[in-house]
Structure 1
Amino acid sequence: MAPKSSSNDPRTATAFRINGVDLHVPEGLATPEIIEKLSTGTYEADEARAADRCVKPGFRVLELGAGLGYVTTLAAQRTAPENVLSVEANPALLPVIEANLARNGCNGVTLLHGAVSGAAEEGETASFHISNGFTGSRLGAQGGRQVEVPLIGFHELIRAHRPHVVLMDVEGAEAGFFDRHWKCPLRFCAMELHPRQYGPSVIKKIVDTMSAMGMTYDPVVSSRKILGFRKVWGSDEAE
């Protein structure tokens, strides 16, 4: 879809409308590649399709890695803002996400600042690498611009929010989330895999843990590096 503004210059603030969601990108935040995807409506297209497939009215949603708040907004519109908990590590994105949620009437979303890891002690922090253009920022990367961010334990989030849907794009940190079963009424999960950060054994562990929790591969959600799972419904269990 075409942007609402007439300029695609990433040095200027630009507004876009994708799938009925209004997004504002502040000056200097996005690379030309991101601007191009926003202009053509392909920004986070696979993630948006996953949210449309997975999020049902009344479902609680846990989103790890909010970006500009696009998928966050879609999820909030599908269920209700108060049912969505979103976590973002990059501090520069927090006011952008909040503003984009507000302009789409989704002020009730809970937005947390921090990097999610498999385990974290209270008050623990870690160095977070900020990449050019914000996509690709992650824990553990060397060099470049580094900021200290709070660490948030994944399983503590799961127990506190008890999501029906988990959406995640955390640049490889997902490898640490599958050491044990998740204590929540999980119905759908969609994640972007990062095979450059880990090998096939980690992907197998992800699939095996999901299977042990009664989840199966979802071909509708899965696409390229997006891996989707859905609950296996018993004959006496209604979706």
Structure 2
Amino acid sequence: MDGAQDSPKDPFLISRGMKIPKDPQLTRGRVRGALKADEYEKKECEAVMRVVRPTDTVLELGGGIGYMSTLLSAVKKVQRVVSYEANPALIPYIRSVHAANDVTNVDLRNALLMPQAGPQIPFYIRSNFLASSMHNSVDAEDIVDTAMIEQHGIAEVLAAEQPSVLVCDIEGAEATLLPAGDWSNLRLAIIELHPQWIGPEGVRAVFDAMHRGGLTYFAKASEGKVVCFRRDW
């Protein structure tokens, strides 16, 4: 079922069978079209649908609009999702997506996962929520608020949560964060690479981190910049 026939009075778009609340900032333009056509985060979603199991516990880095955590919970029926999203402006919307789909097994954390835990740091919220970031040197005039965000240490989180699956889309931070983790307990990882920002050295660092954890590139669930690693084929 797709959302091609959605009514203006309907508060939801339908995407991959999920209810996505309409929002004037977050579900417009290309995003709206991609949601209705089941094309939103298509490569990641297809990898998840292919290799994630109901018995999995998933660590999601980069919660976005809550689409992937909802897919994992409501469609793939995984045991649990621990989802990290740094942008505080997105948290209420993510919760609304979860509520619309009766999702109750996602631990949503408005924090940064870092190589080491640290003090809170400022996060700059812009009028365009999706342009918000930890940087205030670009388009400073668009900043409408500042929030203090916790920094959680990757070693402590992995030890406490024991995820079997990693789903990661963190806009280039994968090159520094993933090499800091011990991924030896993972069954598989689905990672969106950002080679335009991290370069060949960063891509190599991600692959090396997965290999150290005993995972190997799995071509059947990989496409372009979205790469899958599995322990057993």
TM value normalised by structure 1 = 0.83
CA distance in 2, matches of 1:150, 1:118: 13
Letter in 1 for 2:202: V
Cα deviation digits, residues 95-137 of structure 1 (max 9, x gap): 111121122121231110012222232x432435658462x65
Provide, for residues 56-90 of structure 1, a one-character-per-residue CA deviation record: whole Å limited to 9, x for no partner: 1221100111222121012113244x511111111
Q: 1: CA distance between counterparts of 2:165 and 2:86?
A: 20
1:52-91 counterparts in 2 under 5 A? 52-77=49-74, 78-80=76-78, 83-91=80-88
Unaligned runs of 5+ in 1: 234-239
Percent of paired sites with the same residue? 30
2:204 equivalent in structure 1: 204
Matched, 1:20 2:21: no
**Distance in 2 of aligned mates of 1:181 and 1:64:** 13
Runs of 4+ in structure 1 off by over 6 angstroms are none
Q: CA deviation at 1:38?
A: 1.4
2:46 maps to 49
| TM-aligned CA deviation for residue 50 of structure 1 | 2.0
Shift of 1:13: 8.6
Q: 1:125 is aligned with what amino acid?
A: I
What's 2:229 paired with? 229
Query: In structure 1, how many angstroms separate the alpha carbons of the residues matched to 2:126 and 2:59?
Result: 22
SS at match of 1:220: helix
How far residue 174 of structure 1 moved from its aligned partner, in angstroms, is 1.0
Cα distance, 1:181–1:116 mapped onto 2, change above 3 Å:
closer
Sort the Cα spacing of 1:13 and 1:172 in 2 relative to 1 into closer, same or farther, 3 A: farther
In the alignment, residue 143 of structure 1 is paired with which amino acid?
V
Does 1:158 pair with 2:151?
A: no
Counterparts of 1:114 and 1:130, CA distance in 2: 18
What is the one-letter code of the residue matched to 1:6? S
Name the count of aligned residue pairs: 226
CA distance in 1, matches of 2:134, 2:44: 21
SS at match of 2:194: coil
C-alpha offsets along residues 156-200 of structure 1, whole Å, 9 cap, x if unaligned? 222221100000111111111233451552011011111122110
Q: For 2:138, which of 127, 138, 143 is the aligned residue?
A: 143
User: In 2, distance between residues paired with 1:199 and 1:138?
Assistant: 21
Q: Which runs of 5+ in 2 are unaligned?
A: none
Match of 2:120 among 121, 124, 135: 124
Q: Which has the higher helix share?
A: 2
